[in-house]
A and B are shown apart, each in its own frame.
Chain A
Amino acid sequence: MVRTHKKIDLWTTVSFCLLALFILFLIYPLFGILRQAVIGSDGKLTGQQFVKFFSKQYYLDTIVNSFAVSIAVTVVTLLLGVPFSYFYSFYRLKGAKFLFIISVLCCMSAPFIGAYSWILLLGRNGIVTQVIEGVFKIKVGNIYGFRGILLVQALKLYPLVFIYMNGAFKNIDSTLMEASENMGCTGMRRFWKVVLQLSMPTALAASLIVFMRAFADFGTPLLIGEGYRTFPVEIYNQYLGETGQDHNFAAAISVIAVIVTAVVFLLQKWATGKYNFSMNALHPIEKKKPKGIAGFFIYLYCYLLIFIAFMPQIYIVYLSFRNCDQAIFKPGFSLGSYKLAMNKLLVRSIKNTMLLGGLSLAIIILVAILIAYLVVRRNNRLNNAIDTISMLPYIMPGSVIGIALIIAFGRKPLALTGTITIMVISLVIRRMPYTIRSATATLMQIPISIEEAAISLGASKIKTFFKVTVPMMTNGIVSGAILSFVSIITEMSSGIILYNNKTITLTMSAYVAIGRGNYGLACAFSAILTVLTTIILMAYLFISKNEDIRM
């Protein structure tokens, strides 16, 4: 039930504070860039850039292609991720923690390195291609073009669906499941009619995130698109191409991207609005043991999926131990790449990665919880506006955000270029949406009667929020937070513009190594990043075991 309060209370203040922060750190930088879209060379307003975009097939193709790929990727990730999540949540799988960690690691491969590894595996001269064609004599297509982008992105993004849906499934009450069984609805039917419907808000949130991520991805199409031109690549070229820069045109394309984001986002909001219910996970699902043939197939599906998705990263770790002379891999193994990494700011990269990751995540969680509350419990135009604004940076290529931030904060009194602060700002505004979406979806399912009960027992609004509501939202927040964290530490595209040797992170070190043609070094940095993330995830799993929330 939605209540509107006319008087100014704590939450209205929070609304305005958030709005002020967003205006300063989000709208002001982006506005500086985007207004170039409508200003012609003579300084007057003009729609000429938009006309140029829509009138040439060369550019229109990019939007059509991006949509095609993103929709396909969303569908495939749902097909892959939902069953995987179902098996993980409803069955007691051996090695569940291992499955979880590997899945998360799959979605964190930094764009250039992951795609490069896929090419080495499945390119025309790829290792797997050669094995399959040599041993099985099947003619495998290669990884380029639409198929390749679909494969690589789907395998990279299905963990998003997996993690979101885990949070949702954990919140389902087992009594509902038993009740439906009593009424004769079991198995697949129960899955479609009960389980999926109950977790629909989260499924829609996951779809939105995956769609946007696929739409905005420019590393993968750039490297394996081979002529399949997509939207973000065009924005990147127009802003940062070596020879063809046209900033006004680029700004126009960015505005179109923003409008697309807003439209898709509003569609999703509308669809989610139809699922207005709440439930209590008084009895969380008890996991069954998988038995017999069905059990075998469940194990096969789960382990095969993560193996295929994780293959490129395994290969990168393997390559990091090979002898490498800049761009040429030579036979034999050694720790040469790692020794080189030590000389190339390895320790500082690790320190910065942890610092930026931790700081950004703390800020994101706080902001996400507040926004989720505002959007769900205080549903009005202002809060909806805040929600929509928070999604805008998600779709713009990171490099554009980087440029926007440098221009906005290049001068005194806010001269932040070259500092950790500007990197934190960039990470926060770009990676907030994961946590906001999952927190919002979770909060929608929590009945307001519980908060009202707490208030009627004498707790203040703040106390109710932090001691009752937030703990109940934990599952949803944590799933989004993991994704935010993982995407923060693999942040690259805005880092390209903002980094310097004092603020360099592991992913940036890997990118610089690739840019300089030092592939063994890049593999070493990536491998170290993988290990670091694994340690953090294991720590999280260990801690969360001791802090199960029981109602």
Chain B
Amino acid sequence: MKKILCLTTAIVLASSLCACGGGAATTTTKAAAATTKAAAATTAAATTKAAAATTAAATTKAAAGATTKAAAGATTKAAASTGTASGDMVMYSTMTENDLNVMLDCLKKKFPKLNIEVVNGTAGELTARIGAEKDNPQGDMMWGGLADADGTKYTDLFEHWLSDYESQQQEQYKSPNGFYSMDHLSTVALCVNTNLEKELGLDIKGYAELTNEKLKGKILLADPTSSSSAWNNVSNIMSVYGNDSDASWKYIESLLKNGLVIAASSSACFKSVESGEYVVGLTYEDGIAALLKSGAKNIKLVYPAEGTSASAFGTSVIKGAKNAANAKAVINYIMSPEGQKDFGEANGTIRMTTAQTINSKYLPATNSIKWVKRDTKWLTDNRQKVVDHWTQLYTSTKK
């Protein structure tokens, strides 16, 4: 009995040492900075008192984390006003490897003293997480996944602040709700597997070809009830054939009758097409262009001949963020003409919201595409109606 108690205590103590091991290195350097700030000291005292209730390992981590963040926050407030950011910042992002690598490179050049940590997830996961963490925010900003079609759905999670460049934004890309700064676009596009397309003897140029019997069960779309890229695609269909018109619903029904497959995620819509599981994916240009950038040889990027449109996506500061000043500095850079050009050209697969002409290496020029106008306001207001109609149609055609 005693032996077991000793063993368990030893294991727990050893584990808590392990837990402290990683944090110790980072906290020692910041501890010095913390002691010199009076304001930081009082908040640190409060947090350590509160955290005393938890286990030893957690206490040192939580208190250390709070102290460093408070210290960093105080230093960066001063720093932001001079245009540089330093210290820590946590970015919640939905963006993929390609986009994140390029953005982090740009930010490293602009803010060499800033240490950015990225937490990944889908838009749904991240917003749910931010909402759950609202009493103790762990993140500072969110980049990607915040769509213009969101309306006011998530505005209580973010700070009511827009970048310094909001007044210079083009009219259609101004903030839809006063919280999101819209920095990039996601244009609806089709990902087509050229090998399979050749085998079937087709030439897919747009929506009309998708009702061809040969493509039965070979077209992929994410779930419009839960994925923003799928909603983007449905919005485009509505924009082409008319919002909530008979023509739109007739087209959607014909797609469903042609065995439209609902994908697990937005990325499956281009990734699974590339791996040959499907022939066409209704998706967005960045996903397809990123694959082309990585060297994919068997797919092509097709904008629907009937017309395409884009959702604007944005970035925002999380409410109550510990490093809000750093986050604001970063967002100001992303929204600035300099930042837009740096990122847009280094990346080459995303269209930006800036009015400047940017050479995107992997995207066709803006004026070579047929654009249709999208009534984002109507779509946002009537989203539930459209989704309900969709689920009803989906269930009835699946019988």
A residues sitting closer than 8 Å to B (CB atoms) are: 56-58, 61, 119-120, 123-125, 222-223, 225-227, 237, 239-245, 325-328, 330, 348, 351, 355, 358-359, 362, 366, 399, 402-403, 406-407, 410-421, 462-463, 466-467, 496-497, 499-502, 512, 515-518
Contacts and interface: CB of A to CB of B under 8 A. Distances in A.
Contact of A410 (B12, B132, B231): B132
20 contacts: A58-B392, A226-B262, A239-B124, A240-B125, A240-B128, A242-B124, A242-B231, A243-B227, A243-B387, A245-B127, A245-B153, A327-B271, A327-B274, A351-B18, A413-B53, A415-B62, A417-B133, A417-B136, A419-B62, A517-B290
Contacts of A326: 96-98, 290, 294
A186 B293 CA distance: 66
Contact of A517 (B50, B117, B267): B267
B290 A227 contact: no
Given A358-B15, A418-B65, A421-B55, A410 B277 contact: no
A296 B294 CA distance: 49
Given A227-B262, A421-B57, A328 B225 contact: no
B129 A328 contact: no
Contacts of B138: 417-418, 500
A502 B22 CA distance: 8
Given A413-B50, A419-B62, A421-B55, 4 more contacts: A244-B225, A407-B132, A412-B50, A502-B61
B53 A327 contact: no
Interface residues of B, number: 81
A222 B263 CA distance: 8
B275 interface: yes
A362 B12 contact: yes
A502 B65 CA distance: 11
Nearest to A465: B1
Contacts, number: 200
Given A58-B394, A327-B274, A500 B4 contact: no
A30 B50 CA distance: 23
B132 A516 contact: no
B107 to A, nearest CB: 16
A36 to B, nearest CB: 12
A225 B271 CA distance: 17
Contacts of A366: 8
A362 B264 CA distance: 36
Interface of B: 1, 4, 8, 11-12, 15, 18-19, 21-23, 47, 50-51, 53-55, 57-58, 61-62, 65, 90, 95-98, 100, 117-125, 127-129, 132-136, 138, 145, 149, 153, 223-228, 231, 261-262, 264-265, 267-268, 271-272, 274-278, 290-291, 294-296, 383, 387, 391-392, 394-395, 398
Nearest to A415: B136
A358 B128 contact: no
A362 B294 contact: no
B395 A57 contact: yes
A417 B54 CA distance: 12
Nearest to A323: B295
A234 B272 CA distance: 22
A326 B274 CA distance: 13
B68 to A, nearest CB: 12
Contact of A420 (B19, B98, B136): B19
B117 A501 contact: yes
Contacts of A120: 275
B26 to A, nearest CB: 9
A400 to B, nearest CB: 10
Contacts of B18: 351, 355
B290 A243 contact: no
A328 B294 CA distance: 6
A239 B128 contact: yes
